[in-house]
């Protein structure tokens, strides 16, 4: 594992940049544990100070140091992304594998559920739900909700792969080796599906963090919790741009760009690395 990491770092420029960017974001998120004051406290620093050595990201109109605030924001956004990705990947893998391998009635049932989820307009539903739960839509609930909506496209992708893998001779070998169906698809098909899963994990994180930003900017989430989205929401509330407090918006945007670029580059680099074809070339097939 360490060798893989070293090879990637040494031979893949994209991975180097991704690594740097993600380290920066993680560092920032890590800072939140060392914050001198909780994120909910306001008016503890002078207001509207531009970026300086003392306040690298400046301070906002609510008297908060944006560096510490952003540290909490990144941490929360990342947590949201990870929860959503894990939940939706688990559902996608399960539905995709079972549907593809078992076929027949199970496939039809799972795929009609799948297609129903695909056609659901996610944003309006989330807006409605947030509206109903206004103020009580916690970060974790939002993450789980997004996870419930984020799987269907990828489940279809996985199913399609399994359908073609099912026709290959090694699946038949496994069948005649007596391997029970669920174990068979986990052992024979999951390794081929993992690159898709991995690629979509990062994609899914990007999507969910983006969704959170959208909802927060609209003020539909719990705005007392710092996230990238709520930062922008507060900046807008205080008309930061009109007031000339540009750094209040620049900080979340900069962090978002670094995070998104880092995730995207990691996605493309790792995607190539774990592609079975590259993997086979690497082990010398």
Residue 75 CB, nearest approach to another protein (Å)? 33
**Both tokens assigned to 224:** 């007392």
Cβ 276 to another protein, closest distance in Å?
A: 6
Smallest separation (angstroms) from another protein to the CB of 53: 41
Which CB sits closer to another protein, 192 or 260?
A: 192
d(CA 24, CA 216): 24
Q: Closest separation between CB of residue 16 and another protein, Å?
A: 13
**Other CB atoms within 10 Å distance of the CB of residue 214:** 15
By C-beta, is 30 or 181 nearer to another protein?
181
CA distance 65 to 51: 10
Give least dist CB 179 to another protein, A: 6
Angle value at C-alpha 281, between 17 and 201, nearest 5 degrees: 45
Our CB check for another protein shows the closer of 79 and 163 to be 163
Strand partners, 59: 65
CB 36, CB 49: distance < 8 Å: no
C-beta of 6 vs 108, nearer to another protein: 6
**Residue 23 or residue 280: which is nearer to another protein going by CB?**
280
For residues 76-86, one letter each, b for 16 or more C-beta atoms within 10 angstroms of the residue's C-beta and e for the rest, the string is bbbebbbbbbe
Q: Per the structure block, which two tokens stand in for 106?
A: 């199970």
**Shortest Å distance, C-beta 104 to another protein:** 14
CA 39 to chain CA centroid, Å, is 23
**123 or 168: CB nearest another protein:** 168
What's the min distance (Å) between Cβ of 168 and another protein?
Answer: 6
CB-CB contact of 123 with 149 (8 Å) = no
Which positions touch another protein (CB under 8 A)? Answer: 7-8, 10-12, 168-170, 172-180, 187-188, 191-192, 273, 276, 278-285
How many whole angstroms separate alpha carbon 285 and alpha carbon 278?
A: 10
Q: Give backbone dihedrals phi and psi of 65, rounded to 5 degrees, phi first.
A: -80, 120
Contacts (Cβ under 8 Å, ≥6 apart) of 180: none
Q: Closest by alpha carbon to 162, among 135, 184, 138?
A: 184
Residue 184 or 255: the one with the smaller Cβ distance to another protein is 184
């Amino acid at each position: 594992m360490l060798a893989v990491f070293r090879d990637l770092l040494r031979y893949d420029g994209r991975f180097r940049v991704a690594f740097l960017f993600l380290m920066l974001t993680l560092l920032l998120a890590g800072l939140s544990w060392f914050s001198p004051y909780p994120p909910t406290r306001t008016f503890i620093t002078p207001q509207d100070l531009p970026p300086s050595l003392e306040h690298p990201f400046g301070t906002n109109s609510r008297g908060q140091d944006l560096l510490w605030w952003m540290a909490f924001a990144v941490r929360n956004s990342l947590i949201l992304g990870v929860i959503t990705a894990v939940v939706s990947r688990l559902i996608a893998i399960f539905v995709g594998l079972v549907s593809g391998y078992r076929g027949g009635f199970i496939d039809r049932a799972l795929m009609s559920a799948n297609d129903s989820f695909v056609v659901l307009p996610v944003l309006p539903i989330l807006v409605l739900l947030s509206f109903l739960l206004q103020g009580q839509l916690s970060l974790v609930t939002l993450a789980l909700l997004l996870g419930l909506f984020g799987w269907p496209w990828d489940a279809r992708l996985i199913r399609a792969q399994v359908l073609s893998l099912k026709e290959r001779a090694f699946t038949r070998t496994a069948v005649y080796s007596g391997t029970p169906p669920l174990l068979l698809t986990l052992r024979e098909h999951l390794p081929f599906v993992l690159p898709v899963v991995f690629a979509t994990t990062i994609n899914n994180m990007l999507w969910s963090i983006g969704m959170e930003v959208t909802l927060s900017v609209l003020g539909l989430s719990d705005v007392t919790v710092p996230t990238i989205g709520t930062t922008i929401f507060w900046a807008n509330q205080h008309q930061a741009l009109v007031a000339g407090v540009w750094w209040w918006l620049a900080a979340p945007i900069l962090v978002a760009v670094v995070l998104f670029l880092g995730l995207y580059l990691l996605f493309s680099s790792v995607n190539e690395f774990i592609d079975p074809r590259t993997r086979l070339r690497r082990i010398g097939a």
